[in-house]
Chain A
């Protein structure tokens, strides 16, 4: 390894450095760590983002079998860092409101981002697994970060157990694949699949593929592997919920894209049909159950499940436009979800979280936040003229190119169901409240909210995913 190779890994190293520095300060200078740590994490994330642009590609034989520094990695990592920075802004109010040390929070956030970037970078099942587990391990702790909230500890345990189950599926699948083809490298998957012979290795191979798929479906919260999501989302504090709903989802779909779209593309129609089936069930289940939710964190869990369904539409449709469609959808979904959560954070006054009726009076208390909330929600609903419409448009174009007409029709029908609960949220925000609405105040979060609004606006005016291909 030369200096050049370290430079090429600099985004990861910056994050690592940031987290170590915070850890150091947290251990020895506890009194100032809460003040300093968000700034240190912000700096390291910005440095990572900057180095992402300029970092050279590595060609060391120690690295290239494990990592793939292509444009997918750059875009996906940029998205991850964006999510990380957004989460920093979102968490500002929680620590004001609940008086908790925040150094460890930032360390865990930085390490989970490292996990995300590692997934986007992976060229081998081992790096992929490493990335996903780094992400998950940090999140097991983050979910239970509010130690004295009963539901938080419960959520953390639940997430740990089910996350471990998902991970074991994944690792078992990897083992079977290795048994079938003798390597865990993505690039050889396709080639080895062509030359597979004998009942035994074919069944080993398929077993492996199915287990890997199930493992990733766990992470992505696709039905029927979604049951952890609602309780965990509800139990975690709001910024963590926001980070999970965009970060973990992105991680799972980076993995899907790495394995099944970029390397092992369209290897067998049966697999695509299976994913299409999961997508349809996920969409219908997520949207129908979301209709009945009153707690916003829980509602976003179910709406997040339905968005998993949409993203699976791209996974089920192999083709050159699948990856840009997936990334564009993730970007729009992340911007809109974080925008909505930014507003929710302003209302988040106790550990139970925010309910739909708490939104009342928002429009008269703060017209801009109400507008941002409505804009974000309508983007999630995919109604024109928001960018959500085009995000869906890309997905469905990809799916039609792959001949998935029924998938498209069922997915579109489910958007009609989704519009009901999304509109209910918007209507609540624009309902006058009898007792008036009091918002928490945070300048940093307000700045973040303005950024989300601007980003959504730009995405809506110029929704071109060309740069993602």
Chain B
């Protein structure tokens, strides 16, 4: 039996186990969530090239076909890092925290893992849409005020975005003479099929202007769900554009490069401006995420290997950084019982450690050299620069804006006259931050760790 299957089934088994134990404690869940990172580290780079194929639905010629290349592995690692952190930091105050919560979380992890490994287009679509449901349930059951409407809106947007996917998948199937769903053999130049796939990916990532669901979904949900959406589900969109957009529709990606870049650059700037105008600090981070994700998309749309390599690296980095920032926000929200800037001020005096860690995350977010985002954004800018200098100039502007809104974020929360005293980090929170800081600094000084994976097969 291929060892690859262990990566696929582990999260589902842990999910079932958790559903069976409604009274599950955080400690047990943490142990379960650590199985995946251990499995991944066990073979590390040797996972690349693993494959597993079984006939699943012969009458539709659908295969249960999973495989791992460097890029899959990178995203699997990101998932394996973020999920244990979510388990570690899910807020204590939520009395509903239970086996159901952890089980659903592991279920999403399993579907994400399947998505990152799927090499059969139907399987890919199945996981792509399947991960929405548990995410929806997490929003529905564990969200804050107004989360129900936000959850419904999120899901309806997602379904509307990908409702034509079945037609597109089938069209690809009939387009190749050998009639197969194996992704590596598919190729198409049909514009409407391309448009359907891009729409689905654009809504989930989200690419400007398909982001209308984002502000509410990110701010109304609980921290765990927000991180799940911003650090992992949005990466599924990016991975989709890489795996399907660039590999199956290379000509069309090139043809529509200008239009897509235009949207991505507009989104980057729009997110930055919107972030600057917010009075709610969770919304600042939500919009900053929009801006950064569109930056990554610009790298993919530039359609050259430097930029797309940078984009994939940056996707990983953004996953780490946004997790750190949303965790900061949630720790603050728990202490302040509000996410308004006006409720905070001068927190550096009472919460020193929190302040230092946040400073590091803010610096990482604005891509200061030595942090992970620096290399990623630099590579994207290089790639875009070689395409057209003006795109690079516009994208570069967003870096300046991000300094402005992130420093404003820092300033309003931690500096200035002290308005309120809060507790400093607890041990659990500190552990999460140390792990995140480690990845931020490690990839800041040694990005080859991730870049080697990306280049391993591309």
Contacts and interface: CB of A to CB of B under 8 A. Distances in A.
Nearest to A390: B57
B60 A394 contact: yes
A385 B148 contact: no
Interface string B243-287: 000000000000000000000000000000000000000000000
A97 B100 CA distance: 33
B164 interface: yes
A401 B171 CA distance: 10
Given A378-B133, A389-B129, A413 B164 contact: yes
Contacts of B396: none
Contact of B166 (A392, A430, A462, A469): A392
Interface in A373-416: 378, 383-385, 389-390, 392-394, 396-397, 400-401, 405, 408-409, 412-413, 415-416
Contacts of A416: 156, 159-160, 163
A308 B57 CA distance: 25
Most chain B beta-carbon contacts within 10 A, residue among A378, A413, A464: A464
B177 interface: no
Contacts of B58: 464, 466
Contacts of B73: none
Contact of B167 (A384, A385, A396, A423): A396
Contact of B156 (A378, A412, A423): A423
B166 A393 contact: yes
A155 B60 CA distance: 42
Most chain A beta-carbon contacts within 10 A, residue among B56, B126, B129, B159: B159
Nearest to A392: B166
Contacts of A413: 163-164
Interface SS of B by simple majority: helix
A415 B136 CA distance: 18
B140 A385 contact: no
Interface string B16-28: 0000000000000
B442 interface: no
A43 interface: no
Given A393-B166, A416-B156, A465 B59 contact: yes
A183 interface: no
A463 B148 contact: no
A57 interface: no
A253 B171 CA distance: 27
B125 interface: yes
A385 B126 contact: yes
A451 interface: no
B96 to A, nearest CB: 10
A78 to B, nearest CB: 18
A384 B125 contact: yes
A408 B129 CA distance: 18
Contact of A430 (B57, B141, B156): B141
Contact of A419 (B59, B137, B156, B173): B156
B29 interface: no
Interface footprint category on A: 35 or more
Contacts of B156: 416, 419-420, 423
B440 interface: no
Contact of B130 (A384, A394, A412): A384
Interface residues of B, number: 34
B167 A405 contact: yes
A324 interface: yes
Contacts of B59: 324, 464-466, 469
Contacts of B425: none
A397 B167 CA distance: 8
B122 interface: yes
A427 interface: yes
B163 A412 contact: yes
A4 interface: no
Nearest to A414: B163
Given A383-B133, A396-B170, A415 B163 contact: yes
Contact of A383 (B151, B152, B159, B160): B159
B132 interface: yes
A464 B57 contact: yes
Contact of A400 (B126, B129, B159, B171): B171
A430 B137 contact: yes
Given A393-B122, A400-B170, A430-B137, A383 B163 contact: no
Interface string A415-444: 110011001100100110000000000000
B137 to A, nearest CB: 7
B167 A400 contact: yes
A97 to B, nearest CB: 31
A334 to B, nearest CB: 20
A427 B56 CA distance: 32
A346 to B, nearest CB: 21
A74 B173 CA distance: 32
A206 to B, nearest CB: 32
A464 B140 CA distance: 32
Given A393-B170, A420-B156, A423-B152, 16 more contacts: A383-B129, A383-B159, A389-B126, A393-B122, A397-B170, A400-B170, A401-B174, A408-B166, A409-B164, A412-B164, A412-B166, A415-B159, A419-B156, A431-B148, A462-B57, A469-B59
12 contacts: A367-B100, A383-B130, A384-B126, A385-B130, A385-B133, A396-B166, A396-B167, A400-B170, A419-B159, A423-B156, A430-B137, A464-B56
